[in-house]
Structure formats: C-alpha cells, structure tokens
Amino acid sequence: MPTDQRPETFHMRVVRQTDPKWLANARSGDKTAQMCVLAVARWMKEMVAGRSSCICCDAVFSGGDVPEAFLILISSNQDSEELNVRSAAVCSKCSTHEDQWLMAEGARRTGLARSAEQMQ
C-alpha cells in the first residue's frame, strides 16, 4: 500500500456539454470554471493523439467524438499555490447518471490509477 500521504486536497466537478454555465462563468472570470474549460480543451487536444476511454467504464472514444460530460479533478497541494487540474471524459451512457455517481465512480477508478502510478 502507498505510504505517501502528501497534504493534497481534491475537488471534483462535473462539466456537461449541455450545461452552458461553464463557458459563461469562465468568460466572466470564474477561476474554477476557467480551469475546467482549459482542462476540457486539453483533453480534446490529447485525444487527437491517442485513444481515451471513459473514466467510469471502459468505453473507448474514437477520433472526433465529443464526450457528453467531463469529470474534472482539481488537486491543490498545501505546499504551493499550484493547482493541478486533470480531466477525464465520461461517455454518453455514463453521463445519464447524476453528478454524485460520476464523482464517486471517478474517485474510485482514479484511486486505482494513482496506486498503479506509484508502483512504477
């Protein structure tokens, strides 16, 4: 088991394509919304280069697909002001679940991914 206990705090947000508030908030200067919009833009850019799958199941997105929703993971380390923002796409099937479910499922699967990273 990982013993690394850095003082990191996580915030999760669910950004849906059908919800225009994110872009509107980002334009009006909301920092969290800006980070979410940036993270989504970065995901779309990276996706062109490789395969991506849904954070909540194993559905794979192919080039040109625009995910229905994104799970944004914002982590902040107490040692610095730096915010680390990661985004994960949610397929159309999983996006029918409510935000709470997506966040719980994403946290569970992200936790597994983090353990795997630390073993390398």
Are 71 and 113 a contacting pair, CB within 8 Å? no
- Asked if 41 and 34 touch (Cβ cutoff 8 Å), the reply is no
For residues 66-95, which are near Zn ion according to CB under 5 A? Answer: 91, 94
Site stretch for Zn ion (CB under 5 A), options 26-34, 44-52, 57-65, 67-75: 57-65
- Could you tell me if 11 and 86 are in contact, meaning their C-beta atoms sit under 8 angstroms apart? no
When the beta carbons of 54 and 74 are compared against Zn ion, the nearer one is 54
Which residue lies nearer to Zn ion by CB, 35 or 43? 43
Q: Which two tokens stand for residue 21?
A: 């508030």
14 binds Zn ion (CB under 5 A): no
Q: Which residues are at the interface with Zn ion (CB under 5 A)?
A: 54, 56-57, 59, 91, 94
